[in-house]
Structure 1
Amino acid sequence: MSSLHTLLVIASLVIGGMAGMLYQKRRNEAENIKLNKTAEDIMSRARKEADEIVKEGKLESKDLVYKGKQELDREVKEKKKELSQQEKRLIQKEEAIDNKMSSIEKKEEQVARKNQEAEDKLKSVDKVREEAENLRNNMINEIEKIATMTREEAKQLLVSELLEDAKIEAARELREIEEQTKSEADKKARSIIATAVQRCAPEYVGEISVSVVNLPNDEMKGRIIGREGRNIRTFESVTGVDIIVDDTPEAVILSSYDPYRREIAKMTLERLITDGRIHPARIEELQDKCKQELDKHVLEVGEQTLFDLGVHGVHKEITKLIGRLKYRTSYGQNVLGHSIEVARICGTMAAELGLNEKIAKRAGLLHDIGKAIDYESEGSHTEIGLEVAKKYKEDWRVLNAIASHHGEEEFKCVESVLVQSADAISASRPGARREVLESYLKRLENLEEIANSFDGVSKCYAIQAGREVRIVVEPDKVNDERLVTLSKDISKKIEEELTYPGQIRVTVIREARSVGYAK
């Protein structure tokens, strides 16, 4: 019974499965039919839409073709119109060219005709010229026969007379120009120098070769000398300055030709007196400190000098040398004050002449820079200063001013001439350097006496504060060749018999005059 039941269940399951499969199949077929129908509808709609799109495209394409054809026709018409206008213009140009060619041909014919006429005239002119030349030659021959002088001789005579007249006239004009120029130049020079001197007239203080150091009491002299003189020996060897201990109450004297070294010694001795400890080691220690302080002070003096004068771009070492000039004198004149005065005079004269004022001031300030170290180096202060300026690459005009301010080199620029003039103004003015009036006048008298002692001297004048002696000789006793030897002989005698600062210029003048009267 159970097996039958099982079979029935299996049979029912099989039948159910088959029925389900059949149902699914039919369902699928129905769906396929439905889908096919839907697809056909979609395709039909798509075909309709495509047909409509094609129709619209054909209409639009026709419209575009029509419009393009109209546009093309319009452009073709415009091009044809432009071509016709260009053709008209070309025709007009061709006509104008034809007209020009015809006129050119006419002109060429006229030119050819004129050339022919000109050739005919030239031939006739040549013939006339030849006849005139023949007549001229005949006349020259006749004149030579009458004058008993050839043509070349007559020409030379005429040329020589014309040249002589021209030389006389040129000499007269040249002399008038020279006199006028010299007069104007002298007036201008006097005005410039007067202006420069008026703007710069500093006071001078006479420097001497000794310095006095005051002492608190006379017992300090013994301490300065030290046991068996060891302190004073050490001081003199370290500083290079002599100490003079005499009967002067409460004072000792420092003596040295070098003011810079003397100032260091003075500072050292004053410090020793204030400190109270005076022995060799302390002397050396304070001397080093004072030297450093004075070096610093010297640099400050140099910088202040450059600032006051408006001179910039100077090397630090040259600035120190400028400050050292404060402790250097020349014939009693402070070299720094002299250099500042020369710089200001140069600047004033350069401004009046329209020259470079800065270069003129710089050259004037540095012209005696060699005097700051001439005690330490061999050679003149000019050579030493030139070497220092070259070392620190100063301007070539400054170099020339340094080298030429005593006439050792030629002037290569106007600034050098200004420096020499300003140097003479500053140095040779009476009172600028330590020289009493009596000795100054005596030196001028001696100069004139030496010059007058030579044979042939007519007049003699000491000028420029004794810096130049101008001598006028008798022309019948002294010829031109004798002038050179006479100036050298007088210079040599001045060198042998006189003592003077700087240099003296000897100028010998020989002048011949002839006076005539027109009646």
Structure 2
Amino acid sequence: MISIIAAFVAGLLLAGVLALLVYQRRKKTDEALLSERCRIIEREKTLEIEELKLREEIALEKRQAEADRELKRREIEIRGLEEETAVGASAVAKEREKLEKRRSELDERYDVIERSEDRLRENIAEYRTRLQEVSQLTVDSAREQLLEQVRHDIQDEVRELKEELLGRSEKEVEAEAKRTLIACMQRLSAAPQEDITATIVAIPSDDMKGRIIGREGRNIKSFESMTGTTLLIDETPDSVLISSFDPVRRETARLALEALIKDGRIHPSSIEEAVNRAEEEVKQSVVDSGEDALRRLRLNRMHPEIVSCLGKLRFRLSNNQNSLEHSVEVANLCALIASELGLDTELAKRSGLLHDIGKVLDQDHEGSHALAGSYLLKRLGTEDPKVVNAVAAHHSEVPAESPYVALVMIADSLSATRPGVRADSLDGYLHRVRSLEEIAQSMEGVSEAYAIQAGREIRVIVSPGSVSEADAGLLARNIRRRIEDELQYPGTIKVTVIREQRFSETAQ
């Protein structure tokens, strides 16, 4: 038993010794492999470093070679420029020598000319002295006599030439203007005339009049105070008349009254509701009318307040002509004329459309409708300054700053004076006729004056003994200026001066 244990222990010791020997041998082998691997890695690193150094040296040599080539090229260019500069300097030197030589020649000629002028002055002074001694006249008196003689000789020729040139230029300008205006007017489809009538609301029966008036006039008073209008209820059957100077209020009252009549319930509370609804309808109608005008003219980007003012023009009439239709017509005419003249058609349209916008402004806006409209546009700041000036100056109240003012004035006159567009009162017609005849008869040399063509033309008969042919044309222009300065009239007035002299004999 002991021998077995001893053999087992000896075997274990032998196995341990063998394992230790194996471990030590393997460790030495691993260390040798690791050392060899480290040497290989160090060698690879060394080779990589040497390769990098070699690449850098090659790249450096290439850059050095390129720099040398660039340097040589620059040197060649510099040598070429130096040669060109040298050649140019020599050319400049030669030109300078030529200029100096030319200057010296010109100085010599100038001296010769000065000496010649001095001799001429001496000769002129000598001749003038001899002439004065011979004619016994001074220089001033001789000059005056000569000028007077020339003036007398050419006076008639100058007058004839002046009349020919002025007449020809005026005829050419008038023919060209007529051609342009006719071409524009033929392309425009004008709106028909609207009748001026009172706002009348139809009622189903006369019993409705009592309900509108109400007990002790309570309903009619409430209606008039809310709408700012006056209801005229008389014996006229089946109708009620609404009166107001404000067409917007009149339209509001018409809509409210028609709604009340249709509903049948008429008392202060229902009147208030109907008036409020009518006001909203009118406001929307105003905006729709303004936007419709912009669509018809193909315009955009306009301030809402301006659109509202344009819509209000639909409810206003000027001498039987609807103001909104008139503004749209003026805008179209302005655009057509602008296209003929090569101007901006959009600016022309805006100027023509907005020229009467001041007519819908209330008493808070001071000045005439032209100035009030321009102040509104300037305050809003959305329109071009040329448009603002065209609105302000279309009645010549402020100086014109662009040709669009003339376009608006021409288009406004064309739209207002086409046949049948406006109605004129008898008093206004008589006043214009009398004023025309009084202005013409107050001029010197006029014997008779007659206003014809419904005040569109004034014919003036002058005495041929007191008014010459040249003075007759001047008289016509003076009468035209006085008419423009003193009268207010739509359209144009033609002035015709007649100078006729007759000679007759009777043979017996």
TM-score (norm 1): 0.64
Q: CA deviation at 1:265?
A: 0.9
Higher-Rg member (1/2): 1
Q: Residue 193 of structure 1: which of 169, 174, 181 is its match?
A: 181
Equivalent residue letter for 2:122: N
Q: CA deviation at 1:369?
A: 0.8
Give runs of aligned pairs for residues 58-207 of structure 1, distance below 5 A: 126=108, 137-138=118-119, 140-148=121-129, 180-198=168-186, 199-207=188-196
Q: CA deviation at 1:445?
A: 3.4
Q: CA deviation at 1:197?
A: 2.2
Report the counterpart of residue 376 of structure 2 in structure 1.
388
Is the aligned partner of 1:419 residue 2:400? no
Distance 1:129 1:321 in 2: 76
Task: Name the SS for the 1:212 alignment partner.
Answer: strand
**CA contact under 8 A between 1:444 and 1:462: conserved in structure 2?**
no
Report the counterpart of residue 433 of structure 2 in structure 1.
445
Q: Residue 296 of structure 2: which of 299, 308, 311 is its match?
A: 308
Task: Name the SS for the 1:148 alignment partner.
Answer: helix
Deviations 1:49-89 (A, max 9, x none): x9xxxxxxxxxxxxxxxxx9xxxxxx9xxx9xx99xx9xx9
Report the counterpart of residue 456 of structure 1 in structure 2.
444
Distance 1:124 1:259 in 2: 86
**CA contact under 8 A between 1:469 and 1:504: conserved in structure 2?**
no
Distance verdict in 2 for CA 1:471–1:410, change over 3 Å: farther
Distance 2:479 2:328 in 1: 38
Distance verdict in 2 for CA 1:465–1:342, change over 3 Å: farther
**CA contact under 8 A between 1:331 and 1:501: conserved in structure 2?**
no
Distance 1:428 1:371 in 2: 19
Deviations 1:220-246 (A, max 9, x none): 111111111111122122212211111
Q: CA deviation at 1:337?
A: 1.4
Q: CA deviation at 1:216?
A: 0.7
Q: CA deviation at 1:435?
A: 2.5
Give runs of aligned pairs for residues 219-298 of structure 1, distance below 5 A: 219-298=207-286
Report the counterpart of residue 334 of structure 2 in structure 1.
346
TM-score (norm 2): 0.65
Q: CA deviation at 1:349?
A: 0.9
Equivalent residue letter for 2:246: D
**CA contact under 8 A between 1:374 and 1:384: conserved in structure 2?**
no
Q: Which deviates the most, 134-143 or 217-226?
A: 134-143
Distance 1:224 1:425 in 2: 45
Distance verdict in 2 for CA 1:281–1:333, change over 3 Å: same
Q: CA deviation at 1:345?
A: 1.0
Give the aligned CA root-mean-square deviation in angstroms.
5.6
Distance 2:207 2:325 in 1: 39
Task: Name the SS for the 2:301 alignment partner.
Answer: coil
Task: Name the SS for the 2:191 alignment partner.
Answer: coil
Deviations 1:133-164 (A, max 9, x none): 667645653453244279xx79x97xx98xx9
Please list every run of 5 or more consecutive structure 1 residues that lacks an aligned counterpart in the other structure. 1-7, 51-67, 69-74, 512-519
Distance verdict in 2 for CA 1:422–1:374, change over 3 Å: farther
Distance verdict in 2 for CA 1:274–1:452, change over 3 Å: same
Give runs of aligned pairs for residues 433-512 of structure 1, distance below 5 A: 433-435=422-424, 442=430, 445-456=433-444, 458=446, 466=455
Distance 2:107 2:439 in 1: 78
Task: Name the SS for the 1:184 alignment partner.
Answer: helix
**CA contact under 8 A between 2:437 and 2:451: conserved in structure 1?**
no
Q: CA deviation at 1:506?
A: 11
Equivalent residue letter for 1:148: T
**CA contact under 8 A between 2:416 and 2:491: conserved in structure 1?**
no
Q: CA deviation at 1:348?
A: 1.1
**CA contact under 8 A between 1:451 and 1:460: conserved in structure 2?**
no
Distance verdict in 2 for CA 1:503–1:425, change over 3 Å: closer
Report the counterpart of residue 211 of structure 1 in structure 2.
199
Task: Name the SS for the 2:305 alignment partner.
Answer: helix
Distance 2:107 2:208 in 1: 121
Q: CA deviation at 1:418?
A: 0.7
**CA contact under 8 A between 1:368 and 1:385: conserved in structure 2?**
yes
Task: Name the SS for the 2:195 alignment partner.
Answer: coil
Please list every run of 5 or more consecutive structure 2 residues that lacks an aligned counterpart in the other structure. 40-53, 55-60, 132-138, 500-508
Deviations 1:67-113 (A, max 9, x none): x9xxxxxx9xxx9xx99xx9xx99xx9xxx9xx99x99xx99x98xx
